[in-house]
Structures are given as structure tokens and as C-alpha cells.
Amino acid sequence: MWSRLTTSSDPLLLTITGAGWFTLATLCGVLVAILRLKLPHDLVLLGAVTLLAATGVITPQEAFSGFADPVTLAIAALLVVAVAIRETGGTEVLAGRMLGTKTASTHSALLRLLVPTSLLSAFMNNTPLVAMLIPTVRDWAKRIGRSPATFLMPLSFVSILGGLCSLIGTSTNLVVAGLARRLDPPLELSLFSPTFVGIPCLIVGIIYLIYVAPRLPERGGTRKTFGAPREFLVTMEITSGSTLAGQSIEAGGLRRLDGLYLIEVQRDEQTLVAVAPDLHLREGDRLVFAGLVDCVIDLMRRPGLRVATNQIDKLESRLGRRFFEAVVGSQSTLINQSIRGARFRTHFGAAVLAVHRQGVRVEKQLGDIELRAGDTLLLEASANFRDARRNDGTFALISELDGLGTPQRRQARYAWVVLASLVCAVSLGASLPLASIGAAIALIALKVLPLDLARRSIDLGVVISIASAFGLAQALNASGLAAAVAAFTYLLFPVLGGFALLLLTFTATSALSLMLTNTAAAALMFPISLALASNMGSPAEPIVLSVMFGASASFASPLGYQTNLMVLGPGAYTFGDFFRVGFPLQVIVGLLSSTILYMAYFT
């Protein structure tokens, strides 16, 4: 229906058909729906491709082929791998070893954080990586006596830069690779195609952040608590093989903890009170802490420590578990029962970790505490615990706390082995979708991740957005709008050189990613940039990589990338903080990546 509708006179618009005009109007509608109406990105993008298919701009097969694209399947499988590492606490276990408890300076502390994080983000999705590291880094910063604000923004930025060092570092990279395969079949990107550009940008970015981040103002990050602050008493045990064994209290980072106080150390039949900072710990020591609930949870995630209760060890599966606060109801059957006698594991599938009693410190052994109405219990239970127990009268109130359960070190090792095997297989030439799906199946078969949790880990919104982005890119190409915009740009800048073309591509994609998702920005800019490169006789691969970097390298605003939003609250940053630190970094990455690509392909 659109073939008869063409622009007839203006040479600048000569190639735009009716389908092109309709596609342009649809894209404007997408911007309005997302920016002004604040509608969900996945809903808007899916609606846009449905409209384009219904009006004949593209066929239904072209509109929805993204749902069956190997890249979409690979991303869904990689989400399962990332969730497996998150749920087992794999990153927290590794972070405890790489961060340590002492650093000579803020610069060295940043280096210890940024280098390992960048390596991890090159091979796993950076969004769950940052989500896992935020509480760990916040607690670590407090232990070494420094502001969390110094570390959290650099954590986000370096995870983005690290993700640009390989094809599987971000889902945006994979989408760009998929678009290249569709719109320019001879162009095939490998796992390490972006590496030669990504590593120099990463190194320069780390140097920049090490010297600029310490100047970030400290405003006191947010710690989410439920209701009034509650002090819990919790007993932790030094595990066998713990790195804390043989260290003093102070050297192990267990003195002057944020929101926690070490009351006593129980060793064999002795109870050591007024604990000296130079007391050396031993395996099997039981450390009694009092503190606020979120601080207690941070402590439970520390490697080398475990909660001194056998109820956790008896749980059949601790994967996908969460922390809850549960208040004993006035008519509860738990009243006057001891925690051991209440058989929480049998009746609730939960383990009691600590108890708070209305300002009174409960100093009995945990299993011997007799419960009263109004007692607040810190529980570790399955994710559906609150829904299952909401209305049975046992608990007057149940609140789910931020974060996951305590780390599962054995399963975490399995998860890391599967991820390493995936990277090795793809490096040796294996198909990424096949390797990713194989890794997800292996995690389920090894019982690292339960099947129901694996299903829930596939974010439907992400999958819909990515698949719809493929349809939008197809519409831009099929309608002739991409070619028309490229021709218009070429007429405006007939002597645009290779470096300027690369920098223009990076800048335009970065600007668009501030308004849309990074995936949508890449999908819209890719066909336009490819057509412009064709008009100018430029090779396609540097343009593809420039789109890839421009879509993800968003530092100047917390809205530019999801990890930026994630650290905004915990670091108590302002939009101005992101602009002052992030904008120069964005300029540096744009200039450096464009220079490297220009030297590699145009000289």
C-alpha cells in the first residue's frame, strides 16, 4: 500500500516513501510514549512493531522474527547463567577475596575494586553483577573507613566499560551483532571483536576514575530498613578454612563495623567479653554481634562466616531464598514455644537467624529462646514465604528485606565453572546461542539452579524489548527511512571524513540512549549508520562497533544506563554528580574509541 506514496520534488527527501514517513511518525510516537507518558519500554516497542506490521510497512514475519532470533535466545540463556551466579552468592564469595579488609590508600582501594569488576563484567551481564556488588562494596567501604560514594559510581562505570570488552558483556553488544548478521550478512562479529577498542577505553577509564572518584562528595548513602531501627543479636561461626582464622579481630575487619557491635567471642567452653582488637580468631570461634537488621544481613554474606545454627544446614535447598522480618502475632501458636521446639524448618521451610524483642536484648542461645507476641524474627526462607504465610495468623507482619540469602559456596563454584566453560567454548568457535543454552541446561542439571527459578530468571520485559528492537530496525531498513536519513546527512556533510563519521555515530547513539533503552538506541541507529557508511564508501565494521560503544557508554546521567540508576540511591548522588564525573568520561571514551577505530580501518 505504501509503494505509490513517494516524495516527488525535494532532492533531500527524494528517497522517502510513504512507508518511510509512517515509520518516522511511529518512531516519534515511541519517543512521546516513553518520555512524556512514561509507558513501559517493552510495551511501547512491541506496540510499535505490531502497528508497522499491521499497516504493511513490514511483514509479520519481519516484525516478530526477533523472538526466534538466535541472539534473543542467547540473551535469555545468559540471564539464567547470571541469575545462577547471583543466587548462589558467587560474586559475593569472589568479592570477599578480591577486596580484602585493608588498603593503603583510596587509590589502591579503587584499583582493587575496579580491575576485578571490569574482568567479571566482560563475561557476564553487568546489571546483575552491580546489583550483587552494591551491598558488598558498601559494607567493605565502611570496614576500611571510607565513603561508599567513592566506590559505587566507579563500580557502575567500570562495569559498563568492562562489558564493552567482549560480545557477551552486555545484551546491547549481542543485539548489535544480531543486527549486523541480519542487515549485512557478510559481517560476522566474534566474541572478542570489540576487545581491541574496549581494553584501551577500560584502562584509561580506570585511571580517570582512580583520580577523580575520591573527589565525590559524601552525603551518606541510603540504607533501607523496615519501620523503626531494630537491634538483633546474632551468633556467627568462623568456618573451616576461613581466611579469618589466624587473623586478629581488627585485621579481619570485624572491629568498628557499620551498625554492628561485637559483644563476645565464645571459644570452646570459654566466653571472652570486652573483646580486644588484637585477639586472634580460630576456626570454630562463635562471635556474638548486636546490630541493625540490614547490617546483620551484610555480615551474614561475608565469606568465612556462617550463622551458628544447624537449622540452615538442614534446609533441603537454599537456592532462591530471601531474608524476611516476621512479627509473631498476638494469637500465634508460636507463643511460649522455643525456637527449637517450634520446628521452623519442618512447618515453615524457614530458618530463624536472629530475634529482636522490643528493645530488650535476648541473650539466650538462639534455639532456647521462648517466643512472645511482638517478637521480630529474622528469617531465611523461600521467595514465596510472605505470600504463603500472609493470612494464616502465625505472623502479624512479614516484610521481605533487600538482597538474597547467604551465599552457597559449593554451588557458586559450579556456576563459575559453567560460565568459564561457556566463555572457552565460544572463544574456540562454538555457536553462542548453543553454548549459552547448553550452559543454562547444565546449571539446572547440576542443581545449581532449580527449574522454576530458572524460568523466572528470564526477564520477559528484556526479551520483548530486544525482540521488538529487531523489528524496528527491520522497518527502518525496509521502509527506506534509514537510507533517506543517511542520504540527508551525506548531503549536509559531503566531506565528512572517517573520524568525523565515527564520532558522529557515537554521539548520536549516546544521545538517543539517554531517551530510549540502550537496545532501542542501537536498533534505531544501526541501519542509519550502516547506510551512511555505504554512501561514503566506509567499511561497515567500525561503524557497527561505534554504534555498540555509543549505545552502552552512557555516563553523563543516571538515566543513561540501568546500573547508574542502581547506585544513585545507595551512593546518595545527584544528577550533577553524574554529569561532573560522567560527562568527561563519556567524551574521553567517544574520542578514544573513534580514534582507535579510525586508525584501524581508515589509515
**Does the pLDDT value for residue 404 go beyond 80?**
no
Cβ within 8 Å of residue 39, ≥6 positions away: 33
User: Is the Cα dihedral 415, 418, 424, 425 positive or negative?
Assistant: negative
Q: What is the pLDDT of residues 446-499, one digit of tens each?
A: 888 888 878 877 878 888 888 888 888 888 888 888 878 777 776 666 666 788
* 182-198 mean pLDDT: 86
Residues of the chain with CATH 3.30.70.1450: 231-404
Residue 313's H or E segment, with its range, is helix 310-314
Q: What is the pLDDT of residues 315-359, one digit of tens each?
A: 444 455 678 888 887 678 888 888 888 888 778 878 888 888 765
* 355-384 mean pLDDT: 77
Q: How many alpha carbons fall within 13 Å on the CB side of residue 558?
A: 16
Q: Which CATH class is domain 231-404?
A: alpha beta
**Does the pLDDT value for residue 222 go beyond 50?**
no
The C-alpha cell at 350 is 524457614
pLDDT band at 229 (very low <50, low <70, confident <90, very high): low
**Does the pLDDT value for residue 164 go beyond 90?**
yes
pLDDT at 8: 42
* 68-77 mean pLDDT: 86
pLDDT top residue among 142 and 198: 198
Task: Outline where 432-573 has alpha helix (H).
Answer: 432-445, 451-457, 460-478, 481-492, 498-515, 518-535, 540-552, 562-568
